[in-house]
Structure 1
Amino acid sequence: MPAGTGSFVRTCINDLNALSGVGLVSVPYALSQGGWLSLALLAAVAAACWYTGTLLGHCMDADAAIRTYPDIGERAFGRAGRLVVSSFMYAELYLVATGFLILEGDNLDKLFPGASVSLGTVSLAGKQLFVVLVALVIAPTTWLRSLGVLAYVSATGVFASVIIVLSVLWAAAVDGVGFSGRGTTPLRITGLPTALGLYIFCYGGHPVFPTLYTSMKQKSQFPKLSSDAFLPCAAMASPFSTADELYLVLQLLHL
């Protein structure tokens, strides 16, 4: 997208899509691994990611020539900084994309067990089939040159996250599942690394922040953009943790 042509709303949708998603629905598992007190890590990670995202905007404000993470690395540490930052950034993007393909393959294989396709001597079945299909469906979205157009794709991701949250609330309130918590372990030291990794995954949308900043018409609105994206993500995460927090409080009061 040409620099400085993106509206605030479309950029906010892209940012929200980068932050919301699989990480939010992993909060219950993170709680089971780290214990109730690990929720403090969730709040700390959210605050740290919001603050560092705002700092990133200030870094890019310092020089109009800064457009990417490698540019920031070079400005701070020279040529070596550019190489190190580029290596970490591209490795993260590659591994995250790979992780999502594996996740989609696993989930679709459970929804459609036994699916298979044969083309001549080539046969694909199960997880491998769905990984290839998802890659083929997603690939055209990577060819879009306009973040304004990509915002419509991002909107589908945000809508899917909202549907998941509403489905959880519906299952608990209407279908009789209820909100009663399970387990009262306050802290699991051995599970904290897993919990911390999942919490970071909830709010770690930083790789796309420089691109979003560069695309904005009014770059002074970037701090507001960060707040407007982080707050809805925190709201969407709450149905997966708030009921458990209330259950823990009631247990403590009972004791």
Structure 2
Amino acid sequence: MAKPNQFPAVLLACFGICTFLYAAGAVMGYKMFGDAILSQFTLNLPQDLVATKVAVWTTVVNPFTKYALTISPVAMSLEELIPSNNAKSYLYSIFIRTGLVVSTLLIGLSVPFFGLVMSLIGSLLTMLVTLILPCVCYLRILRGKVTRLQVALCIIIITVGVVSSAFGTYSALSEIIKSLGG
């Protein structure tokens, strides 16, 4: 950054804008659909519109793009173990990336309740990585330099993260138990 002292203001502005946009989207969604909304938002859209088809296909394609970005560091780490020889390293790279995709598919198909297990892991780790750990690290690194307001905000964010993680974990576990029992 050209002016590192402006970083806190930029960060606060970005979080404020994102929070406002997400809240506005939630309010608009509730105003449009009310309490009678289905579990997947695309099921609530009118079926005959082109915009609905675009929204559905965007929702379908989105995980594929995220998967490629997520698996790329793993693939690159494995590719570093192979001696570099231009023709063979490219072929090995194709085999490694294809093997990762196929192995993920096989695990997803063979593990019962894979989606529920992933939601359990996601509810635990997402809150930990996105809300809890950054605040804890911030407080730990700047131990004597943070103001009381910053400490209070960090504690509020950590509390929201812990509560969200608890609700997500409870929800995922109850769905797993319900699936096992019935």
Query: TM-score scaled to structure 1, two decimals?
Result: 0.37
Question: Which structure has greater helix proportion?
Answer: 2
The structure showing larger relative contact order (alpha-carbon pairs under 8 Å, at least 6 residues apart) is 1
